[in-house]
């Protein structure tokens, strides 16, 4: 019995040694992947060609979307804005079709209350390096995702603070990231407002400048209150038309102001 126990202990130590060697090998081999994915995620080079990242790539994919799923579900529901943001990260990471499916599955798995993410985060920390640029980018992305609906709830902040700690991010660094979120949140609101302005004008955001005034005039001719008064509509219909024409005018001015063209 004693001999068998010692044999098992040796086997376990051997397995641990192999596992440790694999982690060290991942750190050495996947340096180019870490550089490329960092350049994409921080905006330095969004189109950087991403080499194969092996275990590092797999762990980053798993951790990224497990945590995003967990944060998204913390307030009880997942918004379209959160799904849109997660999709933008999928695109930014340059995932292929199979990897996209995995990302979605991890996101869904993260939404379950029983899902535990700490083991995955600790493994990720070992292959990307604690306090590394990629570790900081990971936290920035998760914090931005947390505020995409507006507020950074205490429950989300506490959870992400624990994730940051596992990645070697100090409390002061985490607080700095949280302070920077104020600017990011305002920018997100501006983007949402502008997206809505294009929708009101029934335009795509990449439309040419000359099409903007045409769309404005077309929409105003349809909803202008003076035209509807001549059609003997009810007061309620006229009131709604006035609100619509005001929204069209505001949207037109917003788009023109953003593009710096004359309204």
pLDDT, position 17: 47
**What's the token pair of residue 207?**
């439309």
Helix (H, G, I), strand (E, B) or coil at 74: coil
Burial of 197-232, coded b for 16+ CB within 10 Å and e otherwise, reads bbebbebeeeeeeeebbebbeebeeebebeebeeee
Please give the pLDDT value at position 13.
40
User: What is the pLDDT tens value at each position of the chain, 263 positions in all?
Assistant: 444 545 544 444 444 444 455 455 545 568 899 999 998 888 778 788 999 889 999 999 999 999 999 999 998 888 877 888 898 899 889 999 999 999 999 999 999 999 999 999 999 999 999 999 999 999 999 998 988 777 788 899 999 999 999 999 999 999 988 887 766 566 555 556 677 788 888 888 777 888 888 888 888 887 765 665 566 667 777 677 777 777 888 788 778 876 777 76
Full-model pTM:
0.64
Alpha carbon distance 123, 95 (integer Å): 21
**Complete DSSP assignment for 88-134:** HHHHHTT--HHHHHHHHHHHHHHTSTT---HHHHHHHHHHH-TT-HH
Nearest one of 124, 133, 135, 166 to 26, comparing CA atoms: 124
3-state secondary structure of 262: coil
**Angle between helix 97-110 and 80-92 (nearest 10):** 140
Q: How far apart are CA 96 and CA 102, in angstroms?
A: 10
The conformational region for residue 43 under phi > 0 = left, psi -120 to 50 = alpha, else beta, is left
DSSP 58: H
Q: How far is CA 146 from the centre of its chain?
A: 9
CB 67 within 8 A of CB 117: yes
Helix and strand numbers (H, E) in the chain are 12, 0
d(CA 115, CA 118): 10
Q: Please name the residue that has the structure tokens 């953003």.
A: 258
Compute φ and ψ for 262, nearest 5 degrees: -70, 130
Asked if CATH classification 1.10.3680.10 holds for the domain at 19-193, the reply, yes or no, is yes
């Amino acid at each position: 019995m004693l001999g068998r126990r010692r044999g098992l202990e040796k086997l376990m130590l051997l397995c641990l040694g192999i596992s440790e060697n694999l982690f060290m090998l991942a750190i050495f081999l996947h340096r180019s992947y870490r550089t490329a994915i960092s350049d994409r995620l921080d905006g330095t080079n969004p189109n950087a060609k991403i080499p194969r990242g092996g275990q590092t790539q797999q762990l980053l994919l798993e951790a990224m979307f497990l945590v995003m799923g967990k944060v998204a579900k913390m307030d009880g529901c997942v918004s379209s804005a959160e799904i849109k943001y997660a999709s933008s990260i999928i695109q930014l990471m340059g995932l292929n079709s199979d990897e996209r499916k995995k990302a979605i599955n991890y996101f869904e798995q993260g939404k379950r209350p029983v899902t535990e993410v700490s083991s995955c985060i600790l493994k990720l920390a070992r292959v990307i390096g604690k306090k590394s640029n990629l570790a900081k980018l990971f936290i920035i992305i998760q914090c931005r995702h947390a505020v995409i609906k507006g507020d950074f709830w205490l429950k989300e902040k506490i959870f992400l603070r624990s994730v940051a700690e596992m990645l070697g991010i100090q409390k002061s660094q985490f607080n700095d990231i949280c302070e920077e979120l104020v600017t990011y949140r305002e920018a997100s609101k501006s983007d949402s407002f502008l997206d809505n302005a294009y929708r009101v004008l029934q335009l795509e955001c990449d439309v040419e400048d000359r099409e903007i005034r045409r769309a404005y005039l077309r929409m105003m001719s349809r909803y202008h209150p003076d035209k509807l008064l001549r059609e003997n509509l009810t007061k309620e219909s006229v009131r709604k038309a006035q609100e619509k024409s005001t929204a069209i005018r505001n949207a037109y001015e917003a788009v023109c102001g953003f593009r710096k063209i004359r309204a």
